[in-house]
Amino acid sequence: MPSTDPRFPNVSIYDHPLIQHKLSIMRDRRTEHEQFRQLLNQITGLMAYDVCRNLPVRALEVETPITRMTGAQLAAPTTIVPILRAGLAMMDGLLALFPEAHVGHVGIYRDEATAQPVTYYAKFPPGVADGPVILVDPMLATGGSAAHAVSLLKEKGCRDIRLVCLVAAPEGIAALHAAHPDLPIHVAAVDERLNERFYIVPGLGDAGDRIFGTQ
């Protein structure tokens, strides 16, 4: 079960020893992009189990080899929405559990001068508002990109939105909570702060560069 921080009642922190072990390897500057990417998907998969704990279900009649019974199935389609580009690297960990999930995409980059989000792409499957949406991005820094993505989803009528990140800064959590106080946030760690360049400290560095080997 994730833990909580009294400063952030809407945040679930996944401090499981296995997750923290893998996260520490990811933080190491010597970790190459292939291993970084593998660990990111492994952690995402480990977190997904509890992120989806309260997904709505409905009754399903099943014929077992012995008898009929009433089982359960997910009541609505789940949509996974990565924030490009780094969020793409979390997809395998989620799709391994939800191969039937729909997938949307949001392309947002941060203006380095203003730290404000700029949207360059947004496409969602039909009926995205019919079920839960899992929004994914490895880093929650200023919170601007995530808040903007949530706003886009709410404009589409989505009401069950869950954000999954690896590492978050307190400033980003506060900004996101101010914009969307109803949003549950799932993270592997809440780090110390943002630096003057809006990077998380101690953080992971630039997650996109480290995932794709472009640094």
Domain CATH number, residue 83: 3.40.50.2020
Count structural domains, the chain.
1
Q: Give the whole-number percent of the chain exceeding pLDDT 90.
A: 73
Crossing angle of helices 170-179/144-155, nearest 10°?
A: 20
Residue 180: strand, helix, or coil:
coil
| pLDDT(115) > 70 | no
Distance in angstroms (rounded) separating the CA atoms of residues 60 and 108: 39
Q: What is the pTM of this model?
A: 0.91
| Average pLDDT across the chain, whole number | 92
> What domain range is 98 assigned to?
3-212
The Cα–Cα gap between 34 and 172 comes to: 28
The region of weakest confidence among 60-64, 72-76, 165-169, 209-213 is 209-213
What is the percent of the chain where pLDDT is above 70? Answer: 99
Q: How confident is the model at residue 197 (pLDDT cuts 50, 70, 90)?
A: confident
Q: Which residues are catalytic?
A: 110, 114, 206, 209
